Amino acid sequence: MSKSTQYTSRRLLLTLAMATTLVAAACEQPSDVGETGGQAITSTQITQVYTNGSGTHQTISTTNNVDPNNPFFQSLGTNGRSCVDCHQPAQAWGISPVEVTQRFGTTGTAPIFRLNDGSNAPNLPVATVAQRRSAYSLLMNRGTIRVGIGIPANAEFNLTLVEDPYHFASATELSLFRRPLPSTNLKFLATVMWDGRETVAGAPIATDLNNQANDATLGHAQAATPLSAAQRQAIVDFESALFTAQVTDSNAGSLTAAGATGGPVALSQQAFHIGINDVLGADPSGAKFSTHVFSAFDAWATQTGSAQAAARASIARGQNIFNTRTFNISGVRGVNDAIGVANLTGTCTTCHDSPNAGDHSVGLPLDLGLTDPDKFNTNDTPRYTLVNKTTGATIRTSDPGRALIDGKWAHVATFKGPILRGLAPRAPYFHNGFAATLTDVVRFYDTRFHLGLTVQDVADLSAFLAAL
Ligand code: HEC
Ligand code: HEC
């Protein structure tokens, strides 16, 4: 029996077993979950078409590397976890709170439920199902993982107050609740991780990903020894060939019909280099910035008639708003302070500048204001008060972001501009999962930057984002 069929039949047995509470109680032994956590996967599941809230999405592998025995799918540490536990093809290689809650089932012992970083704090009691439900509440409610990082020695600030509802965080290890970034479409990365901590200056992204695979195994999977060079390379080869995008929209139909170029195949052929289309002139090719970042739905601008044509026209209008609607960018740490301009007229594409991928093509950390506890109710996550050692200025934040990596005051609460493909299957959005839906993302921007969007604009822009 091959390894994968063995796992499949085990999973079937487990599903049957779950039906009876008697056996479910026996499953409470965390020691056996590594093998029966239900996360084994088949080749087909890597590239199958999955249904999501606004249509379907699919992943392709440009090297046809769909081996379910790749180390990406293996338990390589001590806690039964593998990469796929937090990077699921059905959620565009991220996770969703709904699916994670299903995985909790009646026992909460699947490999994603581990104290080190799945829980709200590693010191919480998890002996009973009720305790586990409470300890893993952020993972189930918002799909966030606890990233633990301390204040660096060279920090330009002190941590003067920790308000942690779980009584764990300190200057040695802050608890930062972040969404897994998708392990797909990696061709378009300019920096690795929300805070760029896996990015080595001057090294190619492949090197960063190589280190990242090892660090993820030592951290998330609590491995005792580093991965071999061959294991790291196999993981990077596997994930780097993956491209994921929406393929059909519930209202607009196929995203490659009538001249549109949505979907993963066109995405895999999209050109990219670090700095491409940079607004501040950092494109090494010397090409000037163009606001026409997304062109996948250009051909739909003139669609009229049927309900399907109207849905296509709406996506095209949303793309046009994304590319061209101007607004005043102000108070963004990393932009306004960095270039010394208090009010910068820009578009969504000022920051989301990579053609048809939508991430920021340079590793510039930015603060949109998403970590301010006074603006956003984040009482279920820790809050930190930082004081500038020189000026005495104070910032209260739920996540100091990049500043925990380079110690810079100017980088407090800054994060990278992520890739905007395969969005529909992986709500909620932003590093902290603050926006529950794509419409909430659009409303956040509308309020934050006073875009003055009409009801139709909000619908169009949301439809466009959902079609990516
Ligand atoms: C317990 C959940 C978990 C596991 C297991 C896990 N990851 Fe992640 N992964 C995350 C989170 C959370 C982030 C974002 C963290 C951050 O930026 O601070 C992330 C980020 C990434 C990124 C960065 C993508 C980008 O846009 O920068 C890659 C690549 C990745 N993971 C690959 C892997 C690989 C390969 C493995 C297995 C060796 C793995 N992950 C295991 C949760 C997980
Ligand atoms: C000033 C730069 C900037 C501008 C302008 C900007 N964004 Fe963003 N965007 C970012 C950054 C940075 C993030 C990540 C923020 C975080 O999570 O902390 C982000 C995140 C997002 C996300 C969430 C992606 C995910 O994986 O969670 C979406 C969707 C998005 N932006 C859409 C838009 C739209 C639509 C507009 C125009 C209305 C826009 N952005 C304008 C910088 C910008």
How far apart CA 395 and CA 403 sit, in angstroms, is: 12
pLDDT at 23 over 60: no
Q: Ligand 2 atom 40: the closest Cα is on which residue?
A: 348
CA–centroid distance, 181 to ligand 1, in Å, is 6
Share of the chain above pLDDT 70, in %: 92
Q: Could you count the other beta carbons within 10 Å of the beta carbon of residue 60?
A: 20
Residue 40 pLDDT: 78
- CA separation, residue 57 to residues 245, 326, 368 (Å): 6, 30, 29
Q: Ligand 2 atom 36: the closest Cα is on which residue?
A: 348
Q: Ligand 1 atom 36: the closest Cα is on which residue?
A: 83
Ligand 1 shell residues, CB under 6 Å: 72, 81, 83, 85-87, 117, 145, 147, 178, 180-181, 183, 189, 192-195, 209, 212-213, 216-217, 220-221, 235, 239
CA–centroid distance, 75 to ligand 1, in Å, is 15
Place of tokens 């999973």: 11
Residue 428 pLDDT: 98
Confidence of residue 376 (pLDDT cuts 50, 70, 90): confident
Place of tokens 């029996």: 1
Place of tokens 């079609």: 467
Backbone angles phi, psi at 4, to 5 degrees: -70, -40
CA–centroid distance, 212 to ligand 1, in Å, is 8
8 Å CB contact between 210 and 199: no
Q: Ligand 1 atom 42: the closest Cα is on which residue?
A: 180
SS3 178: strand
pLDDT at 341 over 70: yes
Confidence of residue 39 (pLDDT cuts 50, 70, 90): low
pLDDT at 11 over 80: no
CA–centroid distance, 264 to ligand 1, in Å, is 21
Ligand 2 shell residues, CB under 6 Å: 322, 329, 332, 335, 346, 348, 350-352, 366, 368, 370, 415, 417-418, 420, 423, 429-431, 441-442, 445, 461, 465
Atom of ligand 2 nearest to the CA of 365: 12
pLDDT at 114 over 60: yes
Ranges 25-34, 63-72, 201-210, 238-247: which has the least confidence: 25-34
- Within 8 A by CB and 6+ apart from 16, the residues are none
Per DSSP, the residues of 281-314 read S--TT-PPP-S----TTGGGTT--SSHHHHHHHH
CA–centroid distance, 417 to ligand 2, in Å, is 6
Residue 379 pLDDT: 87
CA–centroid distance, 216 to ligand 1, in Å, is 6
CA–centroid distance, 441 to ligand 2, in Å, is 8
Rounded mean pLDDT, 273-295: 96
Share of the chain above pLDDT 90, in %: 89
Q: Residue 328's beta-bridge partner residues? A: 345
Ranges 32-46, 201-215, 252-266: which has the least confidence: 32-46
Residue type for position 404: L
